[in-house]
Amino acid sequence: MGDAGETHLAGGQRIAKDDLRIECYGTVDELNAHIGVARVIAQEQARHVERLSRFGVILKRIQHELFNLGSILATLPEDVHPKQPRITAAEIKQLEVEIDEANEELQPLRSFVLPGGSALEAQLHVCRTVCRRAERLAVRLAREQDLPSEIVKYLNRLSDALFVWSRWVNRISDQEETLWEPNAAASGTSAS
């Protein structure tokens, strides 16, 4: 079956491996793997910046939530079990609270940020871009099929959180943000 380009959904239905639903939950799985890398980096850097230890716990919670979200994506609406893990308004609200808490420590943004101020910050930007791709796929899937609205909302808030956290980890680690300088490369005025 797998060699023929098909797989099973959680309810047992056969589906093409390039189906939008598969692409969506595969991208959520990819995001989860990238968050795992960020969590490892945070744990390693926590030896020098204690506050990153708590942040590692947050990232682990996000990984669990992404598995909950993926389980819904991997199940057709008619096959979702009442006790099946899912994303609720509570998880979305928690992300909003964490975004606000991190933002309180940040200066207003004056320009776009170039990823690369630190390894953790750069990895969080990778997570953010994969999360945005997952969100775009979920929006397309929601247009075509029944999908709980919390999925798109959660991915939207998570991508916002990942951006804010990328700035926050640099701030608490005393790393400078690299801001975009429009036309710097073309004019030769780019500061390294």
* Confidence (pTM): 0.90
User: Using CA atoms, how far apart are residues 75 and 10, in angstroms rounded to an integer?
Assistant: 5
By percentage, how much of the chain surpasses pLDDT 70? Answer: 91
pLDDT at 26: 94
pLDDT at 190: 52
| Residue 28's pLDDT band (cuts 50, 70, 90) | very high
> Residues 150-171: what's their mean pLDDT?
97
Please check whether residue 87 is in contact with residue 68, taking contact to mean a CB–CB distance below 8 angstroms.
Answer: yes
Q: Is residue 171 part of a domain?
A: yes
- What residues have CB less than 8 Å from 172, skipping those under 6 apart? 49, 51, 52, 105
Q: Is residue 192 part of a domain?
A: no
Q: Is residue 187 part of a domain?
A: no
CA angle 155, 157, 161 (to 5 degrees): 115
Tens-place pLDDT, residues 38-89: 999 999 999 988 889 999 999 999 999 999 999 999 888 778 888 888 899 9
User: Using CA atoms, how far apart are residues 46 and 133, in angstroms rounded to an integer?
Assistant: 29
* Tokens 């099929």, residue located: 145
In the chain, the number of structural domains is 1
| Residue 187's pLDDT band (cuts 50, 70, 90) | low
Please give the C-alpha separations between residue 60 and each of 39, 133, 149, in angstroms, as whole numbers: 7, 21, 23
pLDDT at 70: 94
Q: Is residue 191 part of a domain?
A: no
Q: Is residue 186 part of a domain?
A: no
Q: What value does the mean pLDDT of the chain take?
A: 89
| pLDDT above 60 for 184 | yes
Q: Is residue 20 part of a domain?
A: yes
CA angle 120, 96, 30 (to 5 degrees): 45
Best CA proximity match to 154, nearest among 79, 85, 90: 90
Q: Is residue 61 part of a domain?
A: yes
Tens-place pLDDT, residues 123-148: 999 999 999 999 999 999 999 998 99
CATH number, domain containing residue 53? 1.20.1200.10
Sign, Cα dihedral of 137, 98, 109, 192 = negative
| pLDDT above 90 for 16 | no
Q: Is residue 160 part of a domain?
A: yes
User: Using CA atoms, how far apart are residues 10 and 8, in angstroms rounded to an integer?
Assistant: 7
Residue 157, domain extent: 2-102+111-181
Please check whether residue 120 is in contact with residue 183, taking contact to mean a CB–CB distance below 8 angstroms.
Answer: no
State phi, psi for 8 to the nearest 5 degrees. Answer: -105, 140
Best CA proximity match to 165, nearest among 127, 110, 108, 114: 127
> Residues 157-172: what's their mean pLDDT?
95
Q: What is the largest CA-CA distance in the chain?
A: 60
